[in-house]
Chains A and B, each alone.
Chain A
Amino acid sequence: MKLKITLIAAVLLAAATACTTASQSDFAGMSFSDRPLTGKVIWNDLITEDLPAAKQFYGGLFGWTFEDGQADGSGAYIVARDEEIYVAGIRSVEPRQDGKKLTRWLPYVSVDDVDTAVERSKAGGATVAVEARNLNLGRVAAIIDPEGAVIGLASSSIGDPDDRTTSAAPGRVVWSELLSRDTVAASGFYRLLAGYDINVIERRGGLYTLLSNNGVNRAGIMPRPADNGDPVWLTYFGVRDPKAAAARAKELGGTVLLPPSPDVREGTMAIVTDPVGAVLVLQKVPM
């Protein structure tokens, strides 16, 4: 009995030693704020029914490399790096029995206190998708806003990636935008949630809402481009050439929903889906 326990412990200890030297996250190329950058989208996860297909697509499109990440519950989880920066995560989920797809890009907004933010969101008409819980680097939750758009909330224990770390570049997340049914109501909700300052600007013949904190624009809200769609948070990824990137997305098994066109933001963006169906925007950078 003693020998068995000794052997098991020795094997586990050896594995643990190897893992602490080889698989720890490398933040050397990133810097973090001293205090929460409330309202900033500090992380984005892809939820997908086909993780291998997602790896192939995003690795081919953006040149990302991948590492194992921590899993919350069942399902594999990997994190993507663009050179020295952790860019996003990819979470594998089981397909639903009814065939409805779960795949989506999910942004996480920094909040001072996740539990308080969840309560505020409920008071504002949201429902909880995932209850608040602790992870290695902080506390997180996910909510469904009053219009049905899903968004994550996060409070990081190591500070938030600062704006130098997350500066716009190809292969990085460069913007987050809510397509809303009622932009005024949505603005009020997100101000309540994350303390945003609301700035409505005239743009291309319509009104675009900027959500900012401490003078820095953190996200946008615009009316849905058509009246029959569901409100959703869109994640924008930087590319040098939207047309070439959209063609590459198609080659990799994606679908082009909206090709770059002079009529749409002067050809600076394309909307595509990955092979599983998650929507993403390819945005020309510098913006």
Chain B
Amino acid sequence: MKNGMKKILFVMLLASSALIAGCNGNVGIGLNVGVPIGNHGYMSVGTSRWL
């Protein structure tokens, strides 16, 4: 009986933790690509070449 209760409580704990883990909404992606940006200052020149 005592062991059974412990198991139920443990399952409750796991289930609650799993629910919490998905709590922050589920939309979006949010990868960190970790790639430094390059030189984009060139966009301010060559204005006649924007097709």
Contacts and interface: CB of A to CB of B under 8 A. Distances in A.
B43 A229 contact: yes
B32 A72 contact: yes
B30 A100 contact: no
Nearest to A102: B36
A20 interface: yes
Contacts of B38: 148, 229-230, 232
Contact of B12 (A13, A79, A86): A13
A19 B28 contact: no
A255 B20 CA distance: 40
Nearest to B27: A25
Interface in B1-20: 5-6, 9-10, 12-13, 15-17, 19-20
Contacts of B13: 5, 8-9, 12
B26 A136 contact: yes
> Interface of chain B, helix or strand or loop or mixed?
loop
A138 B34 CA distance: 21
A271 interface: yes
B27 A264 contact: no
Interface of A: 2, 5-6, 8-9, 12-13, 15-17, 19-20, 23-25, 27, 43, 45, 47, 67-73, 75, 77, 79, 86, 89, 91, 93, 96, 100-104, 106, 108, 129-130, 135-137, 140, 142, 144, 148, 150, 152, 154, 179, 203-208, 222-226, 228-230, 232, 257-258, 261, 263-265, 269, 271, 277-279
Interface of B: 5-6, 9-10, 12-13, 15-17, 19-20, 22-51
